[in-house]
Amino acid sequence: MTEQPTPLLSVEAVSKSYGAQIGCKDVSFDLYPGEVMGIVGESGSGKSTLLNCLAGHLPPDTGRVMFDTRTDGPCDTLAMSEPERRMLSRTDWAFVHQNARDGLRMGVSAGGNVGERLMAVGARHYRGIREQAVDWLGRVEIDAHRIDDRPRTFSGGMQQRLQIARNLVTGPRLVFMDEPTGGLDVSVQARLLDLLRGLVRDLGLSAIIVTHDLAVVRLLADRLMVMKSGHVVEEGLTDQVLDDPQHAYTQLLVSSVLQV
Amino acid sequence: MIRNTPIRSCLSALSCKFEERRMITLENVSKTFTLHNQGGAVIEAIADVSLSVTPGECVALTGASGAGKSTLMRLIYGNYLAKTGTIHVGDLEIKRAKPHDIIALRRDTLGYVSQFLRVVPRVPTLDVVAEPLRAIGRPADNAKDRAADLLTRLNIPQTLWSLSPTTFSGGEQQRVNIARGFAHPYPALLLDEPTASLDGSNREVVLDLIQEAKRRGAAIIGIFHDEIARAQICDREIDVSSFTVGKAA
């Protein structure tokens, strides 16, 4: 119906084993600009292994991960040199960790955490950096007067929002998220989800979200991939997979959710 | 670098409306549910459905509760996966379509007013209603003006617009849902009991909205338990029970 755009990320037969143990096996998919994909599955299903392979944190055993770069078009990120990949992860990619402490520098002020990312891509003007930090703290609903406080004085929800600001300030095109709402209160979760949805829509971001929370993917993800024991057992439109699951495991997953 | 082309797909949906006279077409569609965790029980929901709806036409699905009316709508919306047959909305075949094609179809061409409102917590009512217009790239002011018009017509007091509809009464939620469903002039619409749980005056407003959609050429499939409403706005009735096979366990 629409003209086929170039996928932003094209994953071809990615596999990763830990010895005899399968991490993820033969995963392929295309992610288009502006699309949000959810990956669900129980603990140990390989979803975090896959995310780390895609984000360049973990080298897969086989497969290709093609990213549509701004300058050279689709490039295999696994074949890139380390400095090239590091530059990509500062400019075009962002990674939101489940534990905000893994994504923040706890000894540096909130403003410093946001500003550091800007400096890493070449910003040198103090006032400009500070203004952008204030702007981003506002967007993630952190009071500007907390800019000089260290993140260890922040609540869990605030730390997570700060991590998101730090990640998005450089205008990435692809965001990897590992259980972004894990370990947060339900009310804090709702606020974070609302925030993420707005940012994804307004900035036209593509995202891959790993979670075990089906309510999170229903709200955020256009598409869903269900993993079990390292394999993708089902994928499709999020509401179709959740409302009309085809695979036995997905049916079990959906029917196990407590109704409130 | 224009990669997403919502305007273009909107245009193609409009032009196909005039080229071929069918907007929604189902051919030999059947749907079964296999319950793998309950001994592999197979429930046959509907079998061998063929129907088509042309622009400007409103077709009512009838049949007893459980006959498969909502199932049929969900199949057309791409929410359920058909077992056999083909479903076309405009020129897109739903069963083979990729997720991003279905998302584009739902954004530009095919609207669905379900029986229940499902929203993100904390989002104000005005934004909930304006969202379909924001999704096709309308400026915020313009989208909110249209949302305000619809909420006014549907008698939602302005004092509620800045609140999330999650705390509203059933009837209010239903009206917010309808306002949202009619914000963008979709060329095709699915309506699941749009007048249920509404009082007389609000029911009239909804029937007017449906008439207006028909006049601008929308192809509509609806479920109406309200017989008078059905007689007033529907051009044809299709009894879904005739497609239902005896339910096997």
Residues A69, A29 share a domain? yes
Question: Do the chains contact at B103 and A237, CB–CB below 8 Å?
Answer: yes
Could you report the predicted ipTM of this complex, rounded to two decimals? 0.84
More confident residue, B120 or A47: A47
CA atoms within 13 A on the CB side of A195: 24
Domain boundary among A130, A145, A171: A171
Question: Do the chains contact at A244 and B74, CB–CB below 8 Å?
Answer: yes
Decide if pLDDT at B248 tops 70. Answer: no
CA distance B148 to chain A (A): 21
Task: Return the pLDDT at B18.
Answer: 47
Interface of A with B in 175-204 (CB under 8 A): 190-191, 193-194, 197, 201
B39 at A interface, C-beta within 8 A: no
* Parent domain of A133: 100-171
Indicate the number of domains in chain A. Answer: 2
pLDDT digits (tens, 9 = 90+) for B87-133: 999 999 999 999 989 999 999 999 999 988 887 777 899 999 999 99
Task: Return the pLDDT at B110.
Answer: 97
Question: Do the chains contact at A219 and B3, CB–CB below 8 Å?
Answer: no
Domain boundary among A144, A171, A198: A171
CA distance B185 to chain A (A): 19
Compute the average pLDDT of residues B189-208. Answer: 93
B88 at A interface, C-beta within 8 A: no
Q: Which of B100, B102, B117, B138 to mutate to test the interface with A (most CBs of A within 10 A)?
A: B100
Residues A41, A30 share a domain? yes
Residues of chain B with Cβ-Cβ distance to A252 below 8 Å are 36-37
- Residue B212 has a CB neighbour count (10 Å cut-off) of 12
Residues A79, A41 share a domain? yes
The top-scoring range by mean pLDDT among A247-256, B8-17, B142-151 is B142-151
Question: Do the chains contact at A1 and B105, CB–CB below 8 Å?
Answer: yes
Task: Return the pLDDT at A181.
Answer: 85
Task: Return the pLDDT at B89.
Answer: 97
Interface of B with A in 139-198 (CB under 8 A): none
- Give, in words, the CATH class of B4-23+53-79+96-241: alpha beta
B100 at A interface, C-beta within 8 A: yes
Domain boundary among A171, A198, A219: A171
CA distance A120 to chain B (A): 27
Residues A31, A88 share a domain? yes
Residues of chain A with Cβ-Cβ distance to B10 below 8 Å are none
Residues A110, A183 share a domain? no
